[in-house]
Amino acid sequence: NGRKLFRTGFRVLLLVASDIDALCACKILQALFQCDHVQYTLVPVSGWQELETAFLEHKDQFKYFVLLNCGANIDLLEILQPEDDTLFFVCDTHRPINAVNVYNETQIKLLVKQDDDLEIPAYDDIFREEEEEDSGNESDGSEPAGKRRRFEEVRFEQVKIKWQEILFDYEQYEYHGTSSAMMMFELAWIMSKDLNDMLWWAIVGLTDQWIQDRITQMKYVTDVGTLQRHVTRHNHRNGDEENSLSIDCMRIAFEYDLCLALYQHWSLYESLCNTCYTSASFKLWSVQGQKRLQEFLADMGLPLKQVKQKFHSMDMSLKENLREIIEESANKFGMKDLRVQTFSVHFGFKNKFLASDVVYATAALMENVDKEENRTDNFIKALDSLSRVNLDQLLQGLELAKKQLCAIQQTVASCICTNLVINQGPFLYCYLMEGTPDVRLFSRPISLCLLTKCLLKSFVSSTRNKRCKLLPMVMAAPMNLEQGTVIVVGTPPHTESSDKKNFFGRAFEKAAENTNSRTLHNHFDMSIIELKMEDRSKFLDALIALLS
């Protein structure tokens, strides 16, 4: 299907969700379009409303629509009501995929991996409705009509209930499939048009899923293995090239590196303090935690002056075995997962970035609240920062990302120290008051999700209540003061064995329906909604009752 799309003379409308994986998939697709001289128009969409608006505005000029990280998990044709000759190509990590989209093969082309288990119900189990209804009209005259009709109505009701149960079971949990950037890269590879830049974008897309905690550790490691083979293929080099790393050269390498956020562009001390994993392990919001951090630094034998200065200014002799030194001490302090399989890229001789650096920087650019810029401008800046010719943009993103990570840690500390995390029974709940420092930053979905996951991890490490350690979390923050709305996000429990499946999307819908709460289910992740401030308490009560 991809090949057929690229070879047509038609213009394509590209609808791209506001997440990093989607941006990376978009960069790869743009490069492929350029190869084949396909004309396209790019429209960023941050939710269902913008998707509908963009489609209505452009449906007369375009017949081909490509949707990246949006469109799979609702009935697209029902919502958009397109003409019969409109074609949708959907590459979306959101699961479960809406069953109608799966079985409509004429207008919707889904880009999914062959070996991804989509767990889709059988066609006959969910599309039997009309068939059963029709069968009631046939008569052989052997029974009284009234009795037969009653029997058929009862039978139809039974089928309908079974059908609803099957669909409910299928749609109950939200989760994520293979990264869209990886899917696009595989497409490029099949077409023999894959370039090293595209491979890097695929790596950043996968790393985004890992940082956002959207996929299991097993899935992450498997996908890293897939990309590692491509990295070897694209980046094997001989000794001559080693010495001639020109300014426009690019080299990707597989690494076992530290999962310390932005540490190569910060000081080691600031990175340890502002990485969720180390902050939660040490419990840095407490005096005891600060003491443990000092003990950790002493155990490593690194002078405080070295640890607190910029990483690139540290003594070369210390940097040589730094990873091993840190890892050895981390194991003593119970931090067994400080090392992670990842990739780095060298642009020219001196610019080196880890994949996670790029994810944090790009996300910070996209959700930048410092300037009064509109979301489209932020989207374009984030997209541009992924090109290696725009290093300045990426470096600006890194500075914003540092601010964001500091804000997350300060907010986590204040929520835990002032007991803002409340055990509601079936879940933990936290509401960020208006007036909290940096509260504007958390009116955006990626930032709020990062905060929620970090707060849950930190709370679990600090509570003595064993039951609390197994609970999911709901977090709310002011979204738009003029409109009186809050943004609400639900995240699954933080446990080692978590399958990353999230039931809050359906629960939010039901709680809103049961209380007539004024909610907006506009986000492509069903577990993120907007809610009127006045309806917060009745919505919360309904959610507690529903999940108890």
**Each residue of 98-150: pLDDT tens digit?**
989 998 888 999 999 877 777 888 887 777 544 444 444 444 555 555 545 55
C-alpha 362/C-alpha 358 separation (Å) is 6
pLDDT in the model for residue 319: 86
Q: What is the H or E stretch that residue 272 is in?
A: helix 268-274
Q: Tokens 């426009």 belong to which residue? A: 248
What's the DSSP call for residue 257?
E
Q: How many residues does the chain have?
A: 548
* Residue 519 or residue 371, greater confidence: 519
Q: Which of 173, 186, 182 is nearest to 22 (CA)?
A: 182
Pairing state between β 485-491 and 528-532: antiparallel
Q: Who's near 215: CB < 8 A, 6+ residues apart?
A: 176, 209, 223, 500
Tokens of 323: 């990873």
Q: What is the CATH number of domain 419-547?
A: 3.10.310
* Residue 175: strand pairing partners: 95
Taking only the tens place, the pLDDT of each residue in 215-226 is 999 999 999 999
- Could you read off the pLDDT of 309-325 as tens digits, one per residue? 999 999 888 888 889 99
The H or E element spanning position 204 is helix 196-211
Q: How far apart are CA 1 and CA 7, in angstroms?
A: 10
Query: What pLDDT, on a 0 to 100 scale, did the predictor assign at position 198?
Result: 97
pLDDT top residue among 29 and 139: 29
Residue 329 has pLDDT above 80, yes or no: yes
Lowest mean pLDDT among 73-77, 143-147, 399-403, 515-519: 143-147
Q: CA-CA distances (angstroms) from residue 363 to 23, 243, 380, 396, 397? A: 10, 34, 12, 12, 8
Q: What is the pLDDT of residue 241?
A: 46
Selected residue with higher pLDDT from 411 and 372: 411
CATH 3.10.310 segments of the chain: 419-547
Looking at residue 104, what is its pLDDT? Answer: 86
At 91, give phi and psi (nearest 5°): -120, 100
Q: What H or E segment, with its residue span, contains residue 276?
A: helix 276-282
Question: 96: cis peptide before it, omega within 30°?
Answer: yes
Bridge partner residues of 340 (DSSP):
257
Find where tokens 């917060």 sit.
536
For 425-483, the pLDDT digits (tens) are 999 999 999 888 899 999 999 999 999 999 999 999 999 998 999 999 999 999 999 99
What is the β-pairing status of strands 339-347 and 351-354?
antiparallel
Q: What is the pLDDT of residue 140?
A: 53
Sign of CA dihedral 88, 89, 93, 96: positive
* Least confident among 136-145, 200-209, 476-485, 498-507: 136-145
Residue 244 has pLDDT above 50, yes or no: no
pLDDT at position 243 is 42
